[in-house]
Structure 1
């Protein structure tokens, strides 16, 4: 897996753009929607009640494309990935983020380090027999009361399936329904589990996002976010 993403360190964006070109939307549209969701999650879950800011970790961050959309969202942001070449590029692009290469199942962080840990379109690249270990590691590095968020492709959405089929590094992807991700959190000791589907409409305005949220319980959007408390 590391070698595959090393190959795409300089062309990751182009590969993704190619897989979604039929939608008429650019990669940034999807990245901004995820960033907006994560910002809202901090508020909805009360992660910064003390006012000291949120320390966040992005697992499987790749080249850090999402991070420019998260400027100012957290007191600090760390990112880790199996691809050394991707991390080198991420460091050049986002000097304010602390990046680490992680090639083992164990995350290179101490217990209880983070308030928020998220993984965006990463779990489908993890072997299903390692999903529980993946979730347990997230829980280990979260502080008590911290929140985990897994963002994944919605396999019920036919356009999402087409995009995955067209993406060169999603060849071996194993897509999970939201219910499967919820069960994974439940089985690894998380609580307050909730999911929402998003990226239903090709618009980013306030009205479009409000309509999306009213339909979030239905498996209609291109992706979903499942969050849970440690």
Structure 2
């Protein structure tokens, strides 16, 4: 498992621990655009339950074979295959840059729909401000259709969907899998030059009338 997958899953667990009303070990979690679930063996033992969804049926079958305790479902690219307010923590990891920009708002709105009131939605993305990130994306055949989003744009999309922003921080300043490098990264989270970033929003609690409090 590569250092980027390990680092992002550690960050996700930190977000749940720091901002979710549910404890990490009880949280019901969803990975949107999960691919083959490469990071799920790391995350699943630490949360209450884990689900993953992807538009690729082949990827879902591979993920199921590798992680039988995770609930995998195929996503049609429009409506997530889950009921409203199902998850304490939803996330999407380097997926939105593959979503056509005209569909970004719908994508985030679906995440809002399936996230519980007071639950979290975290978006991990490549940081286009970092020149090495732009070069790496340009060289990757898998990213030929990529439209990179700046953190401010991602933050605006979450706010438009109704989320309250709780975190925006930058990740992976030092591309070395060492404990000292991770400590150094944490010191620089505020600096918008990391290779990737996370924006995390909280769905507001429903009021007595069943509507959402304004964000």
TM-score by length of 1: 0.84
- The C-alpha deviation readout for 1:145-201, integer Å capped at 9, x for no partner, is 000000000001111112211211110100001011011111111113421101111
Determine the structure 1 residue equivalent to 2:3: 29
SS of the equivalent of 1:48 reads coil
Counterparts in 2 of 1:75-94, with a 5 A limit?
A: 75-94=48-67
Measure the CA separation in 2 of the matches of 1:206 and 1:43.
Answer: 20
Q: Which runs of 5+ in 1 are unaligned?
A: 1-26
- The C-alpha deviation readout for 1:92-144, integer Å capped at 9, x for no partner, is 11111110011141101001100000000000011111111111110110110
Count how many residue pairs are aligned between Structure 1 and Structure 2: 203
Counterparts in 2 of 1:49-128, with a 5 A limit?
A: 49=23, 53-128=26-101
Q: Which runs of 5+ in 2 are unaligned?
A: 204-215
1:146/1:166 CA distance change after superposition, 3 Å: same
TM-score by length of 2: 0.90
Measure the CA separation in 1 of the matches of 2:37 and 2:122.
Answer: 17
SS of the equivalent of 2:53 reads strand
RMSD: 1.5
Measure the CA separation in 2 of the matches of 1:46 and 1:207.
Answer: 28
How far residue 210 of structure 1 moved from its aligned partner, in angstroms, is 2.6
Measure the CA separation in 2 of the matches of 1:193 and 1:173.
Answer: 26
Tell whether the 8 Å contact from 2:34 to 2:52 is kept in structure 1 after alignment.
Answer: yes
1:45/1:204 CA distance change after superposition, 3 Å: farther
